[in-house]
Structure 1
Amino acid sequence: MMFDRISFHRPGRKPVRSALAAGFARLEAAVAAEDSAAFEAACRDLQQAIGRATPAELGQAGPRLAAMLAGVPPWPRAYLAVMTGACVENGADPVACSGPILAGVREALEGALRFADAWQRAGGGEELPEPEDDADPDAATELLLGGTDPDAPEAREVRRVVTAWWTLHLWEMASVAVLSHAAVRRAAAGSGVLADLLGLADRYAGVQRELKCLTYAAATLDEEPLLVLDRPSGTGYLMRMSGVVDNFQLHTLLAHVLISGRHLAGEGPERAAVEACRAADVPPERRPHTTGSFNLLAPDGSWIWNEGTPSDIPVVDGVRTLVLDPPPYRRSWPAGRFIPGIPGDLVMVRVLTAGESAAALAGTVPSQR
């Protein structure tokens, strides 16, 4: 299933500019008073105001919400992060909003991992609670407290990790909203944030499940060179990919560049399938199906699965290198982007000479399956 973007219902009536300012004022007052009931009411009001806001208003609301996150208690913070992500998806500056959101998802991941460890030590059983299946956070808190004084520092830590476990899916939504932008990914990669998030998400997958939307967004490559070697024809191509989230998308774009571009024989994908992989806004039920043209291999003969990401392709002599063989069986899939908010593309840089292609292919081995 592809990632669904955050969205708010937008009523048909004309936006009221003062509603957004009033919503922020009520929210800030509720935070200052530490009034949870008032905070919930203010959140609902602000959400409605955001749904009616103009793009210019959303541009201001996103960074303002992001700046509030650090001062909000952990549980409601996650809901404000989702609202911030919705503003980003509707025009707010993703870079200005990304810092608090990425810090929040990292904190939630760390807390969720501590929750899983505490759950096992407390005898919670082999099955961890599923926050999205109406599992009871109060029961989990009581189990982990185990008679601890509710006002003790240990009790505060218990409540914090329970909150992290129950709100991680919200932080994932918010983080994908900002990571859908190349400028955020570049900055987060340069600072080491992406590597940290991917490492934590991998550990979480080992105890619960894969955070596929987060990991795929964080692993997305931009302006990445790709050396493609076609074994049957003995030809090679240097390409550049940006925003290609998964290998289904890459496979479709490869077929377009190489077959529709008349470098290789075969039947290229339909134009609609290619555009769905690039930037066209195509609803899931209308995605055109396309058929695989290749078997994707690493130079050592291991398979590069369509279900993976381009980051799975190994780097050889400084460039990711992919080998193409004929498909061993027929396979089709609905063309498109796993994360619709990330536009993708694959472009030809140059065709390798016959000597370059032969030398590169000499360092590869046939499929190991």
Structure 2
Amino acid sequence: MSEPSFSLSPDLLALLHAPVSGERPTPAEFFAQPEVSALYTLARDPAHSAAALQALAGLLPELPPYPASLLALMSGSLVESGADPTLLFPCCLTLMQRWQERLAPYCAREVEEEEAQDDPQAAQAWADTQARVEALDGAEADAIDELFEAVELLVLPMMTMVLRDEGNHQRFLANPALQEHIASLHDNDSLPFEQLYFLWLAACVSYENELVVVLPATGTGLVVRAHGVNNNFHTFTLLQQLMAEHQQPLGITLTATHDGNGADRAAFAWLQATAYAQGKLVNEMAWSWGEAPLRHNARRLGRCVLIALDKKDACRRNWSGFDSACHEAQNPHLVFQRYLTPEEVAAFLD
């Protein structure tokens, strides 16, 4: 059975396209308007949700940034209630990139006087940005302010869609221009975002269908599926908990390293695949950097590889504060798949 037809009312379209005089409505005021409330009531019906999202995907690029971001926020609540997270995501991805490109010239980190001598280029960038901001006239300044608010509002529905569908997350990461903007804009002083930081956290999250862990000392290893892990430190914590459940087949004795309050310590020296060649340790300094995304580790035989080096004098780190999810839909966890064969262990160390 085909989904019922869905159309946006002329009154709603007129409201959305109407120029705003005075202050922009708050989100609560916007959603309380009868035309918007009627749309939300209809779209919440599962029989109409998909068609409503498809209609909004065609509409949002035509709207001013602020109402577009508010409708995206409404759509995010539909996704949280079970609507398809993929329908509006390409549109939101395009809008986020477009808006950040327009805001980028007005974003920079402040450089204090004592820092300027060490980094004159950054100091000049800050001065140039300040000059551009000060040169904005009233209408231009208001347009930049609207874009700023729109980006902040768009973060939440983006998070909802990015972390509820791995395909969305892949498309999110596959946009290098957007990733560059998020990395530079989320922490700036001229337009200090509060919400954009969470989208940066989502960009650091990794998924690996086959994460290979090799233990050279025992000639063993395992393959796990990593879902929604924050970074390597987070992965080490989850791995050490999982490996403690498989001590006998792995040939290890592993006591608890996690204190239950977010603090942990390394049971191994965690290295990347490049630490080994032809079965020998050739670079003990090829660390798997804890703060880096899991997907940034070196690959061997097409798989992300971590080496758990059990060596008494090897460098090991402690860490804390890396195991919190950035969104309720993230659901970070590891799933044991199988043990490595001796032949596979040798191949991954070759």
TM-score by length of 2: 0.67
Cross-structure match for 2:271: 297
1:87 aligns with 2:87: no
Pairwise CA RMSD:
4.4
Conserved 8 A contact 1:289-1:332: yes
In 1, distance between residues paired with 2:66 and 2:132? 15
Q: Which residue of 2 aligns with 1:111?
A: 102
User: 1:131-150 maps to which residues of 2 (within 5 A)?
Assistant: 143-145=134-136
CA distance in 1, matches of 2:48, 2:292: 35
Q: Paired residue for 1:175?
A: 158
CA distance in 2, matches of 1:321, 1:95: 30
2:296 corresponds to 1:322:
no
Q: Post-superposition shift, 1:178?
A: 1.0
Q: Is the 8 A contact 1:179 1:218 kept in 2?
A: no
Q: CA deviation at 1:105?
A: 0.9
Further displaced range: 44-53 or 288-297:
44-53
Aligned to 2:118: none
Q: How do 1:235-274 residues align onto structure 2 when only pairs under 5 Å count? A: 235-262=220-247, 263=250, 264-267=252-255
CA–CA separation in structure 2 for the residues paired with 1:261 and 1:167: 48
CA distance in 2 between partners of 1:359 and 1:33 (Å):
65
The unaligned stretches of length 5 or more in structure 2 are 1-5, 111-120, 276-284
Q: 1:296 to 1:44 in 2, by over 3 A?
A: farther
Q: Aligned partners of 2:146, 2:40: CA distance in 1, in Å? A: 25
- Maintained 8 Å contact 2:69/2:150: yes
Q: Contact 1:288–1:335 at 8 Å: present in 2 too?
A: no
Alignment of 1:1-369 (within 5 A): 27-35=12-20, 40=25, 41-45=29-33, 46=36, 56=46, 59=49, 62-116=53-107, 126=127, 143-145=134-136, 160-185=143-168, 188=171, 193-204=174-185, 211-262=196-247, 263=250, 264-267=252-255, 289=262, 291-292=264-265, 293-299=267-273, 300=275, 301-325=285-309, 328-333=316-321, 335-361=323-349, 363=350
CA shift, 1:201, in A, is 2.4
Question: Is contact 2:213–2:222 with CA below 8 Å preserved after alignment?
Answer: yes
* Distance in structure 2 (CA, Å) of the matches to 1:306 and 1:312: 11
Describe the superposition over 1:292-319 as per-residue Cα deviations: whole angstroms up to 9, x where unpaired: 4444322343333443321222223422
How far apart, in 1, do the equivalents of 2:271 and 2:59 lie? 47
SS of 1:145's equivalent?
Answer: coil
Q: Which residue identity lines up with residue 330 of structure 2 in the other structure? A: I
C-alpha change, 1:55 and 1:313, in structure 2 (3 Å) is: farther
Structure-2 change in CA distance of 1:124 and 1:329 (3 Å):
closer
Q: What percentage of aligned pairs have identical amino acids?
A: 21
Deviations 1:179-230 (A, max 9, x none): 01225426626xx843342233234368668954323424544453222122
The question of whether the paired residues in 2 share the 8 Å contact of 1:223 and 1:241 is answered with: yes
Q: Which amino acid aligns with 1:80?
A: L
- Between the aligned partners of 2:294 and 2:328, the Cα distance in structure 1 is 17
